[in-house]
């Protein structure tokens, strides 16, 4: 079996070690004997996403996000929305997460359009939400905790047809108000968890891999891996910030 992992805008969207998410996806595939190819998708790359099994869209600064917004909305919105509706497995972080939504409303009232694949919108907040973050998630009947680091001032609000990725146990999450973090729509996931998120959260990583394999090959079961080191990292963060 083989998965093609598309890394969108690696030269522009790569904050807080986001590239570590790509490395983790590749390694956890290879440890199971699954071939994994990394394909960079830049502003000059022509793709309809039909050759991609897992797509990653990371976070970036305001300048880079404006460049990406123009490229996404003008050149790729139709094909990417079709791929999402068709069940493409997609992980988006922070700025990438926001760009999948309907729009980002800045503090001066101007709107930065997203591609509208997710029924979410983001408004500029008055303070940055910077902290470690711990959430409790349940996906496909599997409940687990996730840990990460968040640094954003945008406040994201979910609309219909979009579920939260998890409930905030510690930190701010989507907007610091409703206790929810991230978004799930079909096989598309958005989150504010940096860190990078996948090395610290093996259960979530394997859900992405499994969904991509099942879309391509049908039902499958992943070979279990020894995640004791990853769970020690999770436990250290949870024990530090969550009161017992």
Annotated active-site positions, please? Answer: 94, 194
CA 205/CA 231 separation, integer angstroms: 13
Q: How far is it, in rounded angstroms, from Cα 200 to Cα 230?
A: 6
Residues 53-71 as b/e (b if ≥16 CB within 10 A, e otherwise) read bbbbbbbbeeebbeebbeb
What are the φ/ψ torsions at residue 88 (nearest 5 degrees)? -55, 135
Angstrom distance (rounded) from CA 134 to CA 131: 10
> Which ranges constitute the DSSP H helices of 2-117?
19-30, 62-71, 77-85, 95-99
Overall size of the chain counted in residues: 244
The dihedral sign for the CA sequence 105, 109, 112, 114: positive
Q: State yes or no: 240 annotated in a binding site.
A: no
Q: Tell me the β-bridge partners of 191.
A: 93
**Is the distance from CB of 131 to CB of 237 less than 8 angstroms?**
no
Residue positions in the annotated binding site for substrate?
Answer: 128
Residue positions in the annotated binding site?
Answer: 128
């Amino acid at each position: 079996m083989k998965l093609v992992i598309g890394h969108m805008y690696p030269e522009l969207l790569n904050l807080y070690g986001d590239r570590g998410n790509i490395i983790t996806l590749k390694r956890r595939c290879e440890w199971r004997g699954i071939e994994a190819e990394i394909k960079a998708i830049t502003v000059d790359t022509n793709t309809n996403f039909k050759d991609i099994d897992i797509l990653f869209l990371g976070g970036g600064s305001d300048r880079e996000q404006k460049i990406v917004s123009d490229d996404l909305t003008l050149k790729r919105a139709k094909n990417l929305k079709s791929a999402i509706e068709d069940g493409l497995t997609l992980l988006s972080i922070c700025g990438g997460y926001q760009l999948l939504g309907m729009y980002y409303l800045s503090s001066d009232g101007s709107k930065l359009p997203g591609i509208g694949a997710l029924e979410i919108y983001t408004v500029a907040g008055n303070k940055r939400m910077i902290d470690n973050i711990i959430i409790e998630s349940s996906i496909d009947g599997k409940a687990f905790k996730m840990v990460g680091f968040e640094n954003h001032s945008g406040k994201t609000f979910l609309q219909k047809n979009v579920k939260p990725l998890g409930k905030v146990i510690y930190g701010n999450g989507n907007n610091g108000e409703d206790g929810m973090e991230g978004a799930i729509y079909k096989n598309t996931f958005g989150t504010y968890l940096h860190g990078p998120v996948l090395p610290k959260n093996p259960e979530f990583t394997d859900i992405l891999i499994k969904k991509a394999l099942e879309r391509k090959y049908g039902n499958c079961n992943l070979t279990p891996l020894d995640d004791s080191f990853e769970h020690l990292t999770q436990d250290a963060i949870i024990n530090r910030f969550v009161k017992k």
